[in-house]
Structure 1
């Protein structure tokens, strides 16, 4: 029998053998026990292997929330293939980029995405295997030569006759970040297990495991039923799904295609959900709105935790949840696709403090002062502001991008210890805690979605009437920040917000579109021609030159 490793595939199988009949996964009408989930993942893994998917090959998961998403992930881990998340909001150019950049050889996709794959598939010589999941649409998956998902599983073995796995098998998470196009964050299984999944110890008083064989000992006697509300294509939900499964808990996926507060509470009540994971105020606001006037509509008494990560979760909204659920405890986590979970706000914020929160400094968490080169970076002294950083269990870098890797993963002060620079501004306090202020770059975080201004600007400038454009973030009561465009137009043209959105939508996903438009005679730029973002933001915040 092969040795066990800190590999999600190995540890999942040990959990299955411990609680085979427990319900593991629910999404709408689809339900599966741990044994059923394991068997279907084995069948899919055998099918993919038969179709030529090998160790280390990248397999796209291009789906809305569904049981097949989790089956696809697990099948990859069993085969030692690498699952890659594909944002289903992407349009042609973005899809082509991620398929090509990831060297994807196979893709499991919802049927409705067949035409989108067809549009880019001719430019992708490595993409050979396509497996189509039924979704009720009538899209023609024959045009891309896909096989239907259930047909792919039919007749395949349920046996676990796979080779020995490794701590260093890869889990690749594509993230928007601050580079315009997504970056593939390469996580070795052991590193992501400890950095993002609590090492199996989130729900156990015993804490993280020290050996892979200990994972069954972290299974609680009573299942915690958890429901992440962001799509699985987002790292936070994907990781939360793994956390739940590796602890023998039940994972309830949000089956709704749009964010519907009332619909979500109905699912939570039906499944007796205990823990709900959100992405800041963008999700908190519609959930709280749905509760108003519906206080007795659902039995939500099982809910005891509201957790947030990835975006601002304001104290006011936290207080509203506490009022609605008197016994609830709130968790507000810090982290990113590159860092995993970097801790929870410890509640040390002072009145009037505009920071995101405060965490404890440690040998693996610090503030780094950037220099002109990696060699000139250093650790902050008390009172200094720099970049929130992590060492220890961190990614191996960005897939196929040594330049970005070298800028983000650095040997601080040449001591041989690699630190990840998260991009979040932070201050080292006198009491050895770290106060976090959020992105120090121009990256816009709108409801947890990271949007790079230059990408939106390029899409705006493709409009025949727009001469120049800058994009900034401005406050939004629901999403924290919204995309706001400041543009100058060509002579003889007139523009409307709707018209600009429709044109830009041809090039970028809907969540990246500007929600506000300001038309000025000349875009503010420095003498060098570089964009003057502070001045553009001043215009945007002034409310002047607004066009509806």
Structure 2
């Protein structure tokens, strides 16, 4: 079994069923498969061989899915690239993954041209739409008229994807997966969330990210679901699409759910078709989750807590029925997965003690591509060391409290940002917040909260500090509140705390 074969089978089994809806474009499974095959044969005619790395820097679109499945069918390795990265970051990824081909939306033609200027490995640059610069080809130029499946044997053990990590602590690393690992993510997700061919899925989170790609795009295609694609996240249009297309499964990151709650007439939309909601990629504030459950009118919410290196199906799930007693927890091990919380010596911690969250599963990456040192640091004795700090309770439920590198040590006391953020999110005037540690001559580090106010609101910082003192131990209370227009995040919704620390520290140095 391989990823591309699932599409071929659906084209034979349910040829007329709607596979993709993207704006005014609609494709049946037969049409989807035909378009994929036309591109796959075009890649072969351009000299692409099995095992080649093909990068693509594209926003959500029908073409994104066509490019991805064409790569799968020729036995190449897909390398989706975050379209929000800088030229230097893109250049680094394209070089690091040894890509020989890169697809991109026309809006990124200049960036790609600059990022590949000194890259001699790339011999084919394809603009999917819009601008085509010198040395680049237009997407239509490499399409063929061949609609038969390419005669390429792809095995389950063949490599399928290099997924770059979010880069929340620096340059991203490329997690390598074969078809076997990705397909196990599909099976795991389908069983956990009870996805079936009758479901309609809406893709609003970026499809280059492992959560939307493997958990839902590949799962939805494998099962023969109808998939609606939004290129950009526009909260009101998301609610409209749910009502119009009778979306039954919806996944989003916490930030997006928070912005759905800000739509003024949100209660006017009929969201009753949604029977299962997933959230993940970043911690979900309890206050936001409670309001989101009320908005959707269903308690069928799943906390999907994993990471890129886990596919991200390997990790922990909090099932809907567990939310009543354990809301805020990450959950227990997902199917086909073992999880632990361990101390610095690899021993299991006692309930309530903080340790590192580690994972063992068939869904875990093979390695970091071209990075044996980081691979050895991360994959140890058959376990994936996530770098996430967590606790485990008496019932075996795991809760993430911070990244190891983001933990704050103030006056010798450990402060976990997630705990402070959960309290701040209950303050009615705040839209978003992020808690970081900054250097302090007296305490080593001081707790600082970066806050974003809801539209039209003002906040007295002393009142906010008094509120925190009622709900937190004194050493956990932020000593400073910094108001910003937005919290810096990557495209998957994760807060870039290292960038916040750098920006604030640089600002303080410039003022001195």
Q: 2:133 aligns with which of 124, 142, 159?
A: 142
Residue 264 of structure 2 is aligned to residue 300 of structure 1: no
- The one of 360, 365, 389 equivalent to 2:358 is 389
Counterpart residue number, 2:472: none
Aligned to 1:440: 404
User: What is the correspondence of 1:532-547 to structure 2 with a 5 Å cutoff?
Assistant: none
1:158 aligns with 2:147: yes
User: How far did 1:96 drift?
Assistant: 0.9
| Shift in Å, 1:471 | 12
Structure 1 pair 391–517 and aligned structure 2 pair: CA distance change class (3 A):
closer
Deviation digits for residues 461-510 of structure 1 (CA, Å, limit 9, x no counterpart): xxxxxxxxx9998454699xxxxxxxxxxxxxxxxx99xx9xxxxxxx99
Q: Compute the displacement of 1:333 (Å).
A: 1.1
**What is the distance in 1 between the residues matched to 2:453 and 2:174?**
29
Tell me if the contact between 2:164 and 2:174 (Cα under 8 Å) persists in the aligned partners: yes
Question: How far is 1:46 from its partner?
Answer: 0.7
Aligned to 1:332: 303
Alpha carbons of structure 1 residues 363 and 175: separation in structure 2 relative to 1, 3 Å: closer
Paired residues of 1:349 and 1:357 also in contact (CA < 8 A): no
CA deviations 1:118-158 (Å, max 9, x no partner) are 11222110111112111xx4x3x132x222112321x4311
Alignment TM-score, normalising by the size of structure 2: 0.76
Aligned to 1:175: 165
- Structure-2 separation of matches of 1:122 and 1:94: 14
Deviation at residue 328 of structure 1 after TM alignment: 5.2
What SS does the corresponding residue of 1:400 show, helix, strand or coil?
coil
Match of 2:318 in 1: 345
2:213 equivalent among 226, 230, 238: 238
Which residue does the alignment assign to 2:393? 429
User: Does 2:372 match 1:408?
Assistant: no
Q: Is the 8 A contact 1:244 1:250 kept in 2?
A: yes
Counterpart-to-counterpart distance in 2, 1:379 and 1:407: 19
Q: What is aligned with 1:126?
A: 121
Specify the alignment match of 1:322 in structure 2: 293
In the alignment, the residues of structure 2 paired with residue 510 and residue 355 of structure 1 have an alpha-carbon distance, to the nearest angstrom, of 21
State the SS of the aligned residue for 2:406: coil
Give 1:390 shift.
Answer: 1.3
Q: CA deviation at 1:369?
A: 2.9
**Using a 3 Å threshold, how does the CA distance of structure 1 residues 13 and 233 change in structure 2: closer, same or farther?**
same
Does the aligned pair in 1 maintain the 2:281–2:306 contact within 8 Å?
yes
Q: Which moved more, 1:186-195 or 1:316-325?
A: 316-325
Count residues with an aligned counterpart.
440
Q: TM-score, normalised by structure 1?
A: 0.72
Cα shift at 1:430: 3.4
Give the C-alpha shift of residue 64 in structure 1: 0.9
> 1:224·1:249 contact (CA, 8 Å) conserved in 2?
yes
Q: Structure 2 vs 1, CA of residues 312 and 78 (structure 1 numbering), >3 Å: closer, same or farther?
A: same
Aligned residues: CA RMSD:
3.7
8 A contact 1:277–1:308 mirrored in 2:
yes
Structure 1 residues without counterparts, runs of 5 or longer: 205-217, 412-417, 454-469, 480-496, 502-508, 524-544
Q: Which residue of 1 aligns with 2:461?
A: none
1:262 partnered with 2:239? no
